[in-house]
Amino acid sequence: MLGWLARGDAAMAEGQIRVAIERYQVARAEDPSNALVERALAAALLRAGRAAEALLHIERAIELGDVEPDVQELHALILAADTKTEAAKDAALSAGTWEGNLIAASLGDPQGASRATPWVEEASLRGSLTALVLAAHVANQGHRTAARNLTAAAQALARESQSASVLEAARDLEQRLHDDEAPLLRAAARARTAVEYATNPRFLPDGSGERPLALRLGIEAEAAVQAPIGTARIDGAVRVDQLVVLSNRAKLPRLDLTGLTAAASLEIPISTRPEAALVGLQFRVNDVFADAFETHYAITVEGGPSLTIPFDLGTRLVLAVYGVGIDFIDFSPPDAEVSSQNRDRIGQRVIAALVHEGDWFTARAEALFVRDDAYGEAFDTRGGALAGHFEARLSRQIRLHVGMSLELRSFGPVGDAVVLGDAAFRTELRTMVKVGAFIPVSELFAVTVDDIWIRNSARAGHSYNENVLSLGWETRW
């Protein structure tokens, strides 16, 4: 067996792939339980373009106990050649090697790209190849400037390490980036339907007597587009939300809600460095109706600049300042009428968020300052919030998430502050906890489970609890 294995290796070295396969097959016939033979045969079949057959042999090698990192790397390459991209990413990452990380990054995996980033600065063949793979990775994401800079770095490192093949590939990628002047428009869509159980859909305060429960049908539809234009990136999205009350309809009027949302953003790097900060501008409009547009609750318009400071491919700091305008329509006094009940307002939001994308999780911590000036002074608001969100990827498909926020706001004055002093202001603390899961059942469909709990702590007669449990069915394109 060893003799035929050695002869197969010699044929592979000479580029005689068909001969190598024949010799490996003879070796396998002599010893069908040898993991080295299975690995060698899988590699030869892959080079011959027979990925499906190669996959059977590499998985047999793993079953026989071959757990070396290069086996996982070969497994990933074979899976990718057999168009099993997600499984290929998992296999590449499980190798835990620089080569495995590059394979994952080349397949579009952000974790692989993040793990490989430290090698970009290394003046070696490894550094040049890493820069080249990451250049292709960020180019596919639409980050043209970062891609060009990484391509330039790959060329410089390739010259230092005297790697003609990497240098040629980097020049080819640079030319393709230069020639591809048309925006690469990307589109995505999502639809979700869910059954929801709400314990206090009218947000009635504690001690107010009966609080009717609600069984609701929720429908969401969202579409988004993205286009790089030069060094900038433009994103746009539209979304429709519909809630239909299925139980206690007589006790829950005007709660068949329709929400319409449109959003757009522009993001531009401030320099040509790969790790350059990004200046952005965001804009969003949200409109809420009830009972098939017979009731118009409110329209919200918000927007403003942002600054994103990346520390590496996995960690970034986001700073933003937004202006907000809210117009309450059917249940607010006319603006021409002086009334303390007029809730129409303009305000500001200042946000600082730290985001980290790890190997198997994404975490976001956020601080928010809120200021609203309403037509009715009783609805003037000052306050702030702390929030956190954590998503764990238990596998390539299954995701669990948990989020929590604490928001403290002061309202008023509700009378003459000179006379009433502190009594003219009202303070509330809103606590929200959300947990959920995203569980795919096929390539297109997934089951979603979410539970949201809200506790509003305020003065007597204004505190309330609300809990919403939903079970949904989602598809994405």
At 257 the pLDDT is 96
pLDDT category at 221 given cuts 50, 70, 90 is very high
pLDDT category at 275 given cuts 50, 70, 90 is low
CB 451 within 8 A of CB 467: yes
Q: 58 with 23, same domain?
A: yes
* pTM greater than 0.85 (yes/no): no
Q: 133 with 54, same domain?
A: yes
pLDDT category at 174 given cuts 50, 70, 90 is confident
Question: Which two structure tokens, joined as six digits, stand for 308?
Answer: 């994103």
Average pLDDT, the chain: 85
**pLDDT tens-digit readout, 225-248:** 988 776 678 999 999 999 999 998
Span of 99-113, 275-289, 389-403, 414-428 with lowest mean pLDDT? 414-428
Q: 204 with 162, same domain?
A: no
Q: 338 with 322, same domain?
A: yes
DSSP string, 191-209: EEEEEEEES-TT-PPTTSS
Helix (H) or strand (E) holding 16: none
Q: 249 with 330, same domain?
A: yes
Span of 200-209, 227-236, 372-381, 412-421 with lowest mean pLDDT? 412-421
At 106 the pLDDT is 81
More confident residue, 279 or 71: 279
Residue 449 in this model has a pLDDT that exceeds 50: yes
CB 436 within 8 A of CB 451: yes
Residue 448 in this model has a pLDDT that exceeds 90: yes
Q: 342 with 426, same domain?
A: yes
Q: 148 with 269, same domain?
A: no
pLDDT category at 143 given cuts 50, 70, 90 is low
Domain of residue 390, residue span: 186-476
At 201 the pLDDT is 93
Maximum average pLDDT range among 163-167, 187-191, 319-323, 371-375:
319-323
**pLDDT tens-digit readout, 25-61:** 888 888 788 888 888 888 888 888 888 888 888 888 8
Q: 216 with 307, same domain?
A: yes
Q: 231 with 287, same domain?
A: yes
The CB density around residue 119, as the number of other CB atoms within 10 Å, is 20
At 182 the pLDDT is 47
Domain of 428, CATH number, reads: 2.40.160
Residue 183 in this model has a pLDDT that exceeds 70: no
Domain of 106, CATH number, reads: 1.25.40.10
DSSP 8-state assignment for residue 108: T
At 169 the pLDDT is 78
Q: 147 with 210, same domain?
A: no
At 365 the pLDDT is 97
DSSP 8-state assignment for residue 120: G
Strand partners, 402: 390, 435
Q: 149 with 198, same domain?
A: no
At 345 the pLDDT is 92
Q: 279 with 252, same domain?
A: yes
Among 156, 179, 202, which residue terminates a domain? 179
Span of 127-136, 371-380, 413-422 with lowest mean pLDDT? 413-422
CB 17 within 8 A of CB 47: yes
Mapped onto helix, strand or coil, the DSSP state of residue 178 is helix
CA R_g for the chain: 29
Start-to-end Cα distance in the chain? 50
Among 179, 200, 231, which residue terminates a domain? 179
**pLDDT tens-digit readout, 357-402:** 876 889 999 999 999 999 888 889 999 999 999 999 887 678 999 9
Count of structural domains within the chain: 2
Residue 324 Cα distances to 264, 327, 347, 374, angstroms: 15, 10, 5, 11
At 307 the pLDDT is 95
DSSP string, 337-382: S--TT---EEEEEEEEEEEEE-SSEEEEEEEEEEEEEESSGGG-EE
At 421 the pLDDT is 61
At 141 the pLDDT is 64
Among 116, 150, 179, which residue terminates a domain? 179
